[in-house]
A and B are shown apart, each in its own frame.
Chain A
Amino acid sequence: MRGTLRPISTWFPWILAAAALPGRAEGLDLELDPRLREAEERRVALVERASPGVVAVFAPGGRSGGSGVLISADGFALTNYHVVGGSVHLRCGLPDGRLHDAVVVGLDPRGDVALIKLLGREEFPHSPLGDSDRVRVGDEVLAAGNPFLLATDFRPAFTLGVVSGVRRYQPPTADGGFEYTDCIQTDAAVNPGNSGGPLFNELGEVVGVNGRISLQKRGRVGVGVAYAISINQIKNFLDQLRGGWIVAHATIGATVSTEDDGRVVFDRILESSDAFRRGLRRGDELVSFAGRPIVSANDFQNALGVLPGGWKVDLTYRRGQEKFSIRVRLEEARPAGERAPSASDPSEARRPRRPELPPHVAAVYEPKEGFANYFFNREPRDRLLAAVRKAGDFSKRTGDWKLVFDDDGREVFCTLGDREASWRTTEVSTAYRPGEVGATDPPGSGGLLAALEQWRRLASSGEAWFSQCDFAGSAPDANGVRMPVLATQRGGVACRWYFDPDAGGLIALECLPEPNADPCEIHWSDLGPVGGFTLPRRWEVRRGDATYAILTLKVAEFSP
């Protein structure tokens, strides 16, 4: 047997030597196909290009670690949640041999992703992000990182492989609760220490973050089965991660199962869910979700798992012979046992006591409930608040606001004030006391008066009036354009404020005066002069599937 296996040791080094040293091959009197030399040169160039942004990540004390990849010149890098754990401060080695301090920025405990920021350099080398939806089975990929934490000079190891599978679903692990949805499976060697490192495509773009391997019964490493979190999933959460959040994945408030005939059918649905309010019922067959056809329960887990809570997606279902398309608002899933954002979370107590942070790390770290590092929320939040102020200085206009709208030929008189807000037409006359819980007047609007009051407060008082006022990442509009979002809370009223990604101005508000209901939506457009300010004149008010009113702002008076 030993004899028959000898060809492995004779053939293999030959191939490797020939491939690695094309110049030498001539010395061995081998004729190399020019295509081979080109392919080899391309690969060497790719490794050289991709190397500088690969990070060796160490927990302070150096007892454990993993890998990461820089994705921006200002030092933001991706790694795994399970590499960062409860650490705030990390030490990161770069291939040029320099060691940098880094601070945690955002965490995705469910998806096993962490965003960190390296400190101490003006401009960091970094890698571009690719499009993981375009990755195909059989594509060559390179995994990079620091397997077994062997690289004392921080130069990454590259392992070559192919894509073994795409859109893989790996259910939550028993211990950590990490769920790998829509992930990329590769046979590139991935070992302990590779965690958090990049998976590169042939262009040197990051298409995934390596984080999980199949071992099962043998306890061996490197069995040719590794999983990378798809970069497109990470992109969906990136703005929120940059805002310092511990992010939450989405739930639709319903579960599906695959029937014997292959149909994917909703088997449970919560009455409080948006999908239920949009008409979805138990027994309906799921046809497509978030732009993807669904043919298995895993398909649905994959399509849902890559989305953050708070987003709206299209869903098509079949009931009998008829097909229905709805747009569904996703809720945040914070399952029990997840390292959720709460100071009283028991897992928080289990975290090791934080050692004192070095001053330059402490300067960019701010703990806050629900956040990995609130320091990074301040800048984007203040940018959105500045955009509100830019529309007009209402800080001295703290008295009553009187607005006159045209509603399809009828006049609406609206007064907003500290003690009361009112809405009068020839048919309806309603009032709302700010602070009143669950007020959804005028009837059918879902809380337009409450929404207007929140708007007055945002414009005149800014963040000071709210109990919570945070940058909440971005969410796509119906055309997929990502809008920055500001999330506020005051007096039981939750608001999400959407901003124009280019012009910066406020373009929409979702206001929810009561839980588990459809919010009142205001969509603003047509800026023009009103009451001495430049304001949107078209106010489209919607609730659920219905348009409540399309209002035109005619007159406005903002008393000091």
Chain B
Amino acid sequence: MSGSRTLLTAAIVLYASAAFGAERTLAESAVRVVKLYGAGGAGRLEGFASGVACSPDGLIVTVLSPMLDARNLRAVLWDGRRLPARLAGVDPKRELAALRVEAADLPSFDLNEPAAVEPGDVVWAISNLYNIASGAEPPSVQRGVASAVASLTARKGVVELTYPGDVYILDAITNNPGAAGGALVDARGRLAGVLGKDVRAAGSNTWINFAVPAADVAQFLQRVRTGAAPATLPHRDVEEVDRREQAGADLRGIRTLPDAFDRTPAYIDEVEPDSPAASIGLAPDDLILLVDETLIQTLKDVRAAMAAAPSDEPVEITILRGEALLKLTLPPRKGSP
């Protein structure tokens, strides 16, 4: 108990003083975060991400994503330089990827000196979330606290990802488009981790903000340097998951209008008899507004949200019927896995 009290006091003091003198530390860290551009840019796949420079000679770490499956993968450095990047290694278990750019003087984090983060420590997340910054503009900075060091079983669509070892769970909202691959740094500007991809926690099905610890990143880079890490993208990757989300979603008996437009409104057209949808009285002309906490604007949103929901669990569905707003619980199909 006394040990944790000391820790708590230290954490509070750090939190209180974190803002003082942060400017320089952050500026020094920000130049070590790169903007990455690759495949995507349509639908739910962003063509952009963040990366962390890990060696002066051009080694960059980011997260595995379909974005990397591009011939013209580019890294934009802190000074606006736009360099071609190639895949140098992947860690399919930790969902990490290493890239290489031709640079001799890249400002980079020293992975021999990673920060070890304890729960309660103040951390800073630095990333190009939402692709807000372009060219030489600095990436975005968020402040948070490491809420826990814990194991993580996550879900990307219907695929479960189990991270080996612990990750840092954060209270800052880093689960945003383009943030994955950004840097997590401690109050002294040392690399604490790499921001994880946008996944949900498998247990709670909520979006989770996490980072892969720097020590794991260092180990991965060691394998990349020795040639022990594969340098091709695994095909099991989320690309496939995303395709399945789009096409093969089981709507549990909801039949919709043909998805004829870019933004077909999410009206129910028919309800399959004896289906879960029929069992809760969903009816033609109901307009779907929310699936769990996901806002629905188009049919595509419905398919994506239903595909993302675990097929063996009920889904909260909010509909507009006439002028009434109804929140219903759509059960899973009987006998679903």
Residue ranges of A at the interface with B (Cβ–Cβ < 8 Å): 1-2, 4-8, 11-12, 14-15, 18-19, 29-33, 35-36, 39-40, 136-140, 161-165, 167-168, 170, 185, 187, 202, 214, 216-220, 222-225, 258, 262, 295-296, 298
Pairwise interchain contact B201-A298, C-beta atoms closer than 8 A: no
- Residues facing A in B129-182 (CB within 8 A) are 129-130, 132-143, 145, 147-153, 169, 171-174, 176-177
Knowing A15-B11, A32-B9, A187-B142, the reply to whether A295 touches B204 (Cβ < 8 A) is: no
Name the residue on A nearest B150 (C-beta): A4
Stretch at the interface among B15-23, B108-116, B323-331: B15-23
Pairwise interchain contact A137-B138, C-beta atoms closer than 8 A: yes
Pairwise interchain contact A137-B27, C-beta atoms closer than 8 A: yes
Q: For B25, what are the chain A residues with a Cβ–Cβ distance below 8 Å?
A: 138
Q: Say if the beta carbon of B203 comes within 8 Å of chain A.
A: yes
Q: For B23, what are the chain A residues with a Cβ–Cβ distance below 8 Å?
A: 136-139
Name the residue on A nearest B174 (C-beta): A224
Pairwise interchain contact A163-B17, C-beta atoms closer than 8 A: no
Knowing A8-B148, A138-B19, the reply to whether A19 touches B129 (Cβ < 8 A) is: no
Pairwise interchain contact A225-B176, C-beta atoms closer than 8 A: yes
Q: For B27, what are the chain A residues with a Cβ–Cβ distance below 8 Å?
A: 137
- Contacts A12-B145, A136-B23 known; list 8 others, CB within 8 Å: A4-B150, A15-B120, A138-B22, A165-B141, A220-B207, A220-B293, A262-B80, A262-B136
Count of A-B contacts judged by CB separation below 8 Å = 162
Q: Closest CB-CB distance, A295 to chain B, in whole Å?
A: 6
Q: For A136, what are the chain B residues with a Cβ–Cβ distance below 8 Å?
A: 23
The docked-state distance in angstroms from the alpha carbon of A170 to that of B131 is 11
Q: Say if the beta carbon of B26 comes within 8 Å of chain A.
A: yes
Knowing A2-B204, A5-B150, A36-B16, the reply to whether A137 touches B26 (Cβ < 8 A) is: yes
Q: Say if the beta carbon of B236 comes within 8 Å of chain A.
A: no
Name the residue on B nearest A295 (C-beta): B136
Q: For B103, what are the chain A residues with a Cβ–Cβ distance below 8 Å?
A: none
Q: Closest CB-CB distance, A5 to chain B, in whole Å?
A: 7
The docked-state distance in angstroms from the alpha carbon of A14 to that of B9 is 11
Q: For A295, what are the chain B residues with a Cβ–Cβ distance below 8 Å?
A: 80, 135-136
The docked-state distance in angstroms from the alpha carbon of A14 to that of B119 is 12
Q: Which of A8, A170, A262 contacts B169 (CB 8 A)?
A: A8
- Residues facing A in B281-297 (CB within 8 A) are 293-295, 297
Q: For A216, what are the chain B residues with a Cβ–Cβ distance below 8 Å?
A: 130, 177
Name the residue on B nearest A221 (C-beta): B295
Pairwise interchain contact A223-B143, C-beta atoms closer than 8 A: no
Q: For B130, what are the chain A residues with a Cβ–Cβ distance below 8 Å?
A: 214, 216, 225
Interface centre among B12, B153, B297 (most CB of A within 10 A): B12
Q: Say if the beta carbon of B44 comes within 8 Å of chain A.
A: yes
The docked-state distance in angstroms from the alpha carbon of A175 to that of B306 is 29
Pairwise interchain contact A33-B9, C-beta atoms closer than 8 A: yes
Pairwise interchain contact B141-A296, C-beta atoms closer than 8 A: no
Name the residue on B nearest A34 (C-beta): B13
Majority secondary structure, B binding face: mixed
Q: Closest CB-CB distance, A81 to chain B, in whole Å?
A: 22
Q: Say if the beta carbon of B257 comes within 8 Å of chain A.
A: no
Name the residue on B nearest A202 (C-beta): B19
Q: Closest CB-CB distance, A552 to chain B, in whole Å?
A: 53
Q: Closest CB-CB distance, B151 to chain A, in whole Å?
A: 5
Pairwise interchain contact B15-A217, C-beta atoms closer than 8 A: no
The docked-state distance in angstroms from the alpha carbon of A262 to that of B203 is 47
Knowing A36-B13, A298-B135, the reply to whether A7 touches B142 (Cβ < 8 A) is: no
Q: For A2, what are the chain B residues with a Cβ–Cβ distance below 8 Å?
A: 203-204
Q: Which of B8, B134, B141, B149 contacts A14 (CB 8 A)?
A: B8
- Residues facing A in B93-138 (CB within 8 A) are 119-120, 124, 129-130, 132-138
Q: Which of A1, A14, A163, A219 contacts B294 (CB 8 A)?
A: A219
Q: Closest CB-CB distance, B199 to chain A, in whole Å?
A: 12
Knowing A5-B169, A165-B141, A223-B173, the reply to whether A139 touches B119 (Cβ < 8 A) is: no
Q: For A298, what are the chain B residues with a Cβ–Cβ distance below 8 Å?
A: 134-135, 137
Name the residue on A nearest B145 (C-beta): A15
Q: Say if the beta carbon of B49 comes within 8 Å of chain A.
A: no
Knowing A1-B202, A187-B172, the reply to whether A225 touches B141 (Cβ < 8 A) is: no
Q: For A296, what are the chain B residues with a Cβ–Cβ distance below 8 Å?
A: 80, 134-137
Q: For B13, what are the chain A residues with a Cβ–Cβ distance below 8 Å?
A: 33, 35-36
The docked-state distance in angstroms from the alpha carbon of A217 to that of B300 is 12
Q: Closest CB-CB distance, B116 to chain A, in whole Å?
A: 16
The docked-state distance in angstroms from the alpha carbon of A164 to that of B133 is 11
The docked-state distance in angstroms from the alpha carbon of A226 to that of B137 is 17
Q: For B15, what are the chain A residues with a Cβ–Cβ distance below 8 Å?
A: 15, 19
The docked-state distance in angstroms from the alpha carbon of A125 to that of B19 is 29
Q: Say if the beta carbon of B71 comes within 8 Å of chain A.
A: no
The docked-state distance in angstroms from the alpha carbon of A136 to that of B201 is 34
Name the residue on A nearest B198 (C-beta): A218
Knowing A2-B203, A187-B172, the reply to whether A225 touches B132 (Cβ < 8 A) is: yes
Q: For A39, what are the chain B residues with a Cβ–Cβ distance below 8 Å?
A: 16-17
Pairwise interchain contact B295-A220, C-beta atoms closer than 8 A: yes
Q: For B202, what are the chain A residues with a Cβ–Cβ distance below 8 Å?
A: 1
Pairwise interchain contact A218-B295, C-beta atoms closer than 8 A: yes
Q: For A18, what are the chain B residues with a Cβ–Cβ distance below 8 Å?
A: 8, 12
Pairwise interchain contact B5-A30, C-beta atoms closer than 8 A: yes
The docked-state distance in angstroms from the alpha carbon of A36 to that of B12 is 7
Q: For A222, what are the chain B residues with a Cβ–Cβ distance below 8 Å?
A: 173
Pull 14 A–B residue pairs with CB atoms less than 8 Å apart, ordered by A: A1-B204, A7-B147, A18-B12, A36-B13, A138-B124, A139-B23, A162-B19, A165-B133, A165-B138, A202-B19, A218-B294, A220-B293, A262-B80, A262-B136
Q: For B183, what are the chain A residues with a Cβ–Cβ distance below 8 Å?
A: none
Pairwise interchain contact B173-A15, C-beta atoms closer than 8 A: no
Pairwise interchain contact A12-B171, C-beta atoms closer than 8 A: yes
Pairwise interchain contact B135-A5, C-beta atoms closer than 8 A: no
